[in-house]
């Protein structure tokens, strides 16, 4: 029996140190890098863990592996994504941890069982990653932290609680990634708006020069064409400018 398995206080110290490091990373690194760090730290912290993956839920609802400590184990997750059944899917979509002994749920999860046995996996532990709800207060499931072990009947209640702590670091990473993505979308929208405004102004200048009309009259011509063709004003302006280059 290892020291970390025998002494819960030693194990708790390892967890605290790992979490402190992960929290710092979550604020400064890309989501994929932080996710891999979380998976690696989880494996290093749990004596029976041989590998780990982090499952994420995309905006359209499909599941995918965000990070893995062993690419050879990813297929076990992917077979669950395809069939929409297995402990990984269960934890990621139903908001509760799943501790599975491979073979005990063969009728319920046949594909997972076959894939896990082929890889030599005997035990599986998955804990959902939940983000606090911003609107109705209900937590949102954004993925799961998945642990694999070649040891028979690995993981205990303490391990499950440790993994719950690790998901707090994962939550920070997911939240930071969302904020970064939202900021990038706003920047892109602003850039598009500024580009569109510039193109419309240029198109107005062209019409004013060609037809000897005022700025308001030129804008009216653009609006009329936009309504007639059911095309966005910026697109009408862009087409006019492109036609001058031919």
Percent of residues, the chain, with pLDDT higher than 70: 80
Residue 3 has pLDDT above 50, yes or no: no
Task: Please state, in angstroms and rounded to a whole number, the distance separating the CA atoms of residues 12 and 191.
Answer: 48
Q: Please check the confidence at residue 245 and state whether its pLDDT lies above 80.
A: no
CB within 8 Å of 115: residues ≥ 6 apart = 75, 76, 79
pLDDT in tens, 145-170: 899 999 988 888 888 888 877 777 66
Q: Which of 50, 60, 65, 17 is nearest to 166 (CA)?
A: 17
The domains of the chain are located at: 3-179, 184-243
Residue 37 has pLDDT above 50, yes or no: yes
- Strand-pair partners of 87: none
Rounded mean pLDDT, 205-218:
88
CATH class of 184-243: mainly alpha
Tens digits of residue pLDDT in 13-27: 666 666 666 655 555
Structure confidence at residue 133 (pLDDT)? 61
Q: Which two tokens stand for residue 193?
A: 């708006």
- pTM listed for this prediction: 0.63
Give the list of residues 6+ apart from residue 81 with CB closer than 8 angstroms, or none.
62, 63, 64, 88, 89
Give the pair of three-digit tokens for residue 72: 């050879």
Q: How far apart are CA 148 and CA 4, in angstroms?
A: 18
CATH 3.30.450.40, applies to 3-179: yes
Question: Are 3-179 and 184-243 in the same CATH fold?
Answer: no
Model confidence at 136, in pLDDT bands (50, 70, 90)? low
Mean pLDDT within 193-206: 84
């Amino acid at each position: 029996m290892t020291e970390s398995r025998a002494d819960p206080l030693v194990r708790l110290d390892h967890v605290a140190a790992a979490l402190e490091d992960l929290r710092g990373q979550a604020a400064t690194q890309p989501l994929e890098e932080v996710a891999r760090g979380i998976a690696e730290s989880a494996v290093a912290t749990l004596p029976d863990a041989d590998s780990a993956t982090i499952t994420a839920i995309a905006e359209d609802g499909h599941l995918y592996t965000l990070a893995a400590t062993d690419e050879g184990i990813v297929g076990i997750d992917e077979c669950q994504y395809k069939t929409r059944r297995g402990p990984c899917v269960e934890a990621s979509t139903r908001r509760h941890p799943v501790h599975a002994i491979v073979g005990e749920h063969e009728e319920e999860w046949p594909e997972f069982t076959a894939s896990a046995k082929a890889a030599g996996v005997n035990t599986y532990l998955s804990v959902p990653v939940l983000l606090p709800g911003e609107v109705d207060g209900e937590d949102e499931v954004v993925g799961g932290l998945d642990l694999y072990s070649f040891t028979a009947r690995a993981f205990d209640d303490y391990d499950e609680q440790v993994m719950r702590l690790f998901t707090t670091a994962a939550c920070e990473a997911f939240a930071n990634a969302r904020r970064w993505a939202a900021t990038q979308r706003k920047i892109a929208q602003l850039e598009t708006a500024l580009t569109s405004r510039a193109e419309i102004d240029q198109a107005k200048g062209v019409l004013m020069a060609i037809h000897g009309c005022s700025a308001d009259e030129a804008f009216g011509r653009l609006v009329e064409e936009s309504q007639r063709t059911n095309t966005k004003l910026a697109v009408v302006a862009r087409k006019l400018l492109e036609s001058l280059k031919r």
